[in-house]
């Protein structure tokens, strides 16, 4: 039944075509929607969807925002709500801010001149047609769906040679009673020899974990809104550029996420990314990072904590396409209660990518008997003169470590919390954007702190 | 100074399928130092861990009380809170957890007069600094991950420091001297010796070498062999063992 051609009316090509935008964008959406509709939905039998929950995705449960009125939220529209304001202010100084609400731009503010940094609505960018889809070039399944239904893509374009001191913050706010499919789309271009940082947060304003930070202590209303969030972020780090990118997923407990982060890294360029996954019912993040220029480097980090019945699913590709490229991936997670995590990563070193160096590490702590973590490393090495290594561990909190702390008089629950926090301590120090470090550390601590206490 | 005792009576314990301790009886009173010597594999560390409640060991019979409290019925952390400390032969690495964090967590509210904290209750990090100074332990270790990348001797100083901060009623020190250089050995031995006077610490010091016992003067020396105390005497016993080895004792018993 899943193999049948796509026949759902909600996500039909006509609906995509009816979304507002310039002709080229409407055409692009139609083509993508038709491609999506004419291919079968992925199933758990597909290798890249093994261990996932994709078979229980029921697209019929969600609706796209019907022809959002983009003129009502122009680039200098209303300021974000107090909670989002507090969340963003908590990150410290910034160079720019973009807020979208259910996929539609709500706020743009920049402290940097247009000649150095262009941020805001994609369709207002001179090179919009080139930029959109320039990195996610061969879209399949849910990238296609985002191509078809992203109502209001946004762009952060750091011009060549420019150094932006503070991060640009992008917040995708998900709000409402549930049932919405939301398609955030962000294109980040770090121009040649530029230096910049971007923080991208996807947050359910009613039920997301970070959304509670500004009002900590107040009792939070349980949020059972079920949304489908399909964010696609394209990141281009041009030759000689340095980009720090932190993404934080803080969705409500009933929401599904199918996210893609696609990046290319040019010659002598560096991407340092850090993903934090906190919420969601089933939350998947696919990270494809291609090193396309000589001596490019990527440092890819992720930290996640699963709780209750949630499933956090990570798929990564370190794609070495040029000589002397270096990729260094470290994903660390903990699963508690009956939660489940998947890490499946592929290192691909293509012919010609000589003297490349690839490292892939995934460590998982399983905190409860009902919790489960899968870790699947893969290598596809087509060149000889390369260095590759991978390591993965899945296991419970060390009984010896627990005993050591308890022998000092530390209560078991506290000992476990300290050990879990200690497990994340090293990676938490590697968060590239200083302003996000405290928030991420706090979010991870909060998420473990609840455990068993 | 408080008085009390750590009383081990006819303790039989081991791992599933193997009895390692085969009837250990000894009593350490507050302020006393008891040395435990014995060949490799005789059960000294097993005794230490059984007292502390390490998972994996089972008690077959016997009792252990600390000031009358039945230790064996308590989980490890409560044994520690009741005033027992174990300085381990092989201290365990706990990545990402510093000494400051662990010790702060171990004593959330130290009340003056509380068991094990009757002397000099104060700010934990303050005490850590002063203890570090007493045994010549670099303060930078206080914020590093517990035992990670520490040398053997540093680990033993780390254990000694924790003992000084936690101020237990009784400390089992399992080869606290191994790995220590001459100066560190003297400093550590002196620190423990002083604790017996400062707050009446009772010590069960497991060691292979008399060197330690020259600084940390034992009131009683026991020889443990094949899971039993086969000889008990005054400090000369350590000298005899040092000179003649264990041959005379290992044959003892049925
Ligand atoms: N957890 C365990 N699992 C298996 N065997 C054990 C365990 N603990 C102790 N043993 C065994 O019990 C015996 C006593 O070990 P223990 O470590 O207590 O000796 P010890 O007297 O401390 O020796 P050493 O002087 O070398 O430190 C040894 O034969 C040891 O191999
Ligand atoms: Mg031993």
Q: Characterize the bridge pairing of strands A195-204 and A168-174.
A: parallel
Interface residues of B toward A, Cβ cutoff 8 Å, are 52-55, 75-77, 79-81, 85-86, 88, 91-97, 101-103, 105-107, 145-146, 162, 166
Residue of B nearest to A397 (CA): B94
In short, whether B45's Cβ falls inside 6 Å of ligand 1 is yes
Element (H, E) at A86: helix A82-89
Per DSSP, A162 falls in state -
- The finding on whether B49 has its CB within 6 A of some atom of ligand 1 is no
Interaxial angle between packed helices B152-166 and B124-134, expressed in degrees from 0 to 180 and rounded to the nearest 10: 130
Chain B partners of A365 at a C-beta cutoff of 8 Å? none
How many alpha carbons fall within 13 Å on the CB side of residue A335?
24
In angstroms, the CA B150 to CA B194 distance is 25
| Contact criterion met (CB < 8 Å) for B75 and A406 | yes
Q: Output the pTM of the full model.
A: 0.89
- Structure confidence at residue A219 (pLDDT): 33
B96/A426 Cβ within 8 A: yes
What's the CATH number for B5-91+167-250? Answer: 3.40.50.300
Cβ contact A173:A119 at 8 Å: no
Residue A228 phi, psi dihedral angles, 5° rounding: -115, 120
How far apart, in whole angstroms, are the C-alpha atoms of residue A250 and residue A264? Answer: 25
For A267-288, give the secondary structure using H, E and C. Answer: CCCEEEEEEEECCCCEEEEEEE
CB atoms within 10 A of CB B61: 11
Domain spans of chain B, in order of start: 5-91+167-250
**CB-side neighbour CA atoms (13 Å) of B142:** 21
Determine which residue's CA is closest to atom 2 belonging to ligand 1. Answer: B15
User: Could you give the CA distance from residue B16 to residue A160 in angstroms, rounded to a whole number?
Assistant: 69
Task: Establish whether this prediction's ipTM goes over 0.85.
Answer: yes
How high is the pLDDT of residue A452?
38
Phi first, then psi, for residue A346 (nearest 5°) are -125, 130
**pLDDT truncated to tens, each residue of chain A (453 aa)?**
344 344 456 788 888 989 999 999 999 999 999 999 999 999 999 999 999 999 999 888 898 866 566 555 444 445 567 788 888 999 999 999 999 999 999 999 999 999 999 999 999 999 999 999 999 999 999 999 999 999 999 999 999 999 999 999 999 999 888 899 999 999 999 999 999 999 999 998 776 655 444 332 333 445 678 999 999 999 999 999 999 999 999 999 999 999 999 999 999 999 999 999 999 999 999 999 999 999 999 999 999 999 999 999 999 999 999 999 999 999 999 999 999 999 999 999 999 999 999 999 999 999 999 999 999 999 999 999 999 999 999 999 999 999 999 999 999 999 999 999 999 999 999 999 999 998 898 888 888 764 433
Exposed, middle or buried: residue A81 (CB in 10 Å: 0-12, 13-18, 19+)? middle
| C-beta of residue A210 within 8 angstroms of C-beta of residue A250 | yes
The Cα–Cα gap between A145 and A194 comes to: 31
H or E stretch at B254: none
Residue stretches of chain B with pLDDT short of 50 = 1, 111-121, 252-254
pLDDT of B117 reads 44
């Amino acid at each position: 039944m899943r193999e049948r051609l796509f026949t759902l009316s909600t996500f039909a090509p006509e609906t995509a075509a009816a979304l507002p935008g310039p002709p080229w964008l409407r055409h692009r959406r139609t083509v993508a929607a038709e491609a999506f509709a004419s291919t079968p939905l992925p199933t758990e039998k597909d290798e890249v969807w093994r261990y996932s929950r994709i078979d229980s995705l029921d697209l019929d449960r969600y609706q796209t925002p019907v022809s959002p009125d983009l003129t009502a939220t122009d680039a200098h529209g209303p300021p974000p709500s107090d909670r989002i304001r507090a969340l963003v202010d908590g990150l410290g100084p910034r160079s720019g801010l973009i807020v979208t609400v259910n996929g539609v731009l709500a706020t743009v503010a920049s402290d940097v001149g247009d000649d150095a940094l262009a941020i805001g609505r994609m369709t207002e960018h001179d090179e919009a047609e080139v930029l959109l889809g320039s990195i996610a070039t061969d879209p399949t399944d849910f990238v296609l769906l985002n191509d078809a239904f992203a109502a209001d893509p946004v762009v952060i374009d750091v011009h060549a040679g420019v150094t932006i001191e503070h991060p640009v913050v992008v917040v995708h706010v998900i709000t409402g009673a549930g049932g919405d499919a939301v398609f955030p789309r962000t294109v980040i271009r770090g121009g040649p020899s530029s230096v910049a940082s971007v923080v991208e947060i996807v947050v359910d304003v009613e039920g997301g974990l970070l959304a509670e930070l500004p009002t900590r202590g107040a009792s939070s209303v349980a949020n059972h809104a079920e949304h489908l969030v399909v964010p696609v972020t394209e990141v281009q780090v041009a030759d000689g550029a340095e980009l720090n990118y932190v993404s934080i997923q803080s969705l409500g407990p009933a929401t599904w996420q199918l996210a893609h982060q696609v990046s290319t890294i040019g010659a002598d360029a560096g991407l340092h990314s850090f993903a934090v996954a906190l919420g969601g019912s089933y939350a998947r993040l696919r990270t494809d990072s291609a090193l396309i220029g000589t001596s490019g480097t990527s440092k890819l980090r992720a930290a996640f904590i699963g709780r209750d019945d949630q499933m956090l699913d990570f798929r990564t590709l370190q794609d070495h396409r040029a000589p002397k490229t270096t990729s260094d991936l470290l994903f660390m997670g903990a699963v508690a209660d009956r939660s489940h995590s998947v890490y499946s990563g592929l290192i691909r070193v293509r012919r010609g990518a000589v003297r490349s160096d690839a490292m892939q590490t995934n460590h998982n702590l399983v905190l409860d008997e009902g919790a489960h973590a899968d870790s699947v490393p893969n290598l596809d090495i087509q060149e000889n003169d390369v260095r590759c290594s991978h390591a993965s561990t899945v296991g419970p909190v060390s009984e010896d470590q627990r005993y050591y702390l308890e022998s000092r008089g530390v209560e078991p629950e506290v000992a476990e919390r300290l050990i879990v926090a200690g497990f994340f301590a090293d990676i938490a120090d590697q968060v590239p954007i200083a302003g996000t470090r405290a928030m991420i550390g706090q979010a991870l601590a909060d998420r473990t702190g609840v455990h068993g206490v | 100074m408080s008085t009390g005792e750590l009383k081990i009576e006819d303790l039989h314990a081991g791992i599933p399928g193997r009895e390692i301790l085969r009837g250990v009886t000894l009593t350490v009173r507050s302020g006393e130092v008891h040395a435990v010597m014995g060949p490799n594999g005789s059960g000294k560390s097993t005794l230490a861990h059984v007292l502390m409640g390490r998972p994996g060991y089972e008690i077959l019979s016997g009792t252990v009380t600390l000031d009358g409290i039945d230790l064996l019925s308590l989980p490890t952390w409560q044994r520690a809170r009741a005033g027992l400390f174990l300085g381990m032969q092989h201290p365990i690495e706990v990545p990402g957890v510093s000494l400051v964090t662990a010790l702060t967590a171990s004593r959330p509210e130290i009340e003056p007069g509380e068991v094990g904290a009757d002397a000099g209750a104060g700010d934990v990090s303050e005490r850590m600094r002063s203890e570090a100074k007493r045994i010549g332990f670099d303060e930078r270790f206080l914020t590093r991950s517990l035992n990670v990348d520490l040398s053997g001797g540093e680990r033993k100083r780390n254990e000694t420091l924790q003992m000084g901060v936690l101020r237990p009623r009784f400390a089992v020190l399992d080869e606290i001297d191994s790995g220590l250089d001459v100066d560190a050995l003297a400093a550590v031995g002196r620190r423990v010796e002083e604790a017996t006077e400062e707050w009446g610490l009772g010590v069960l010091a497991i060691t292979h070498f008399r060197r330690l016992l020259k600084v940390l003067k034992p009131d009683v020396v026991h020889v443990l062999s094949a899971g039993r105390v086969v000889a008990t005497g005054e400090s000369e016993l350590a000298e005899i063992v040092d000179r003649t080895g264990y041959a005379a004792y290992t044959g003892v018993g049925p």
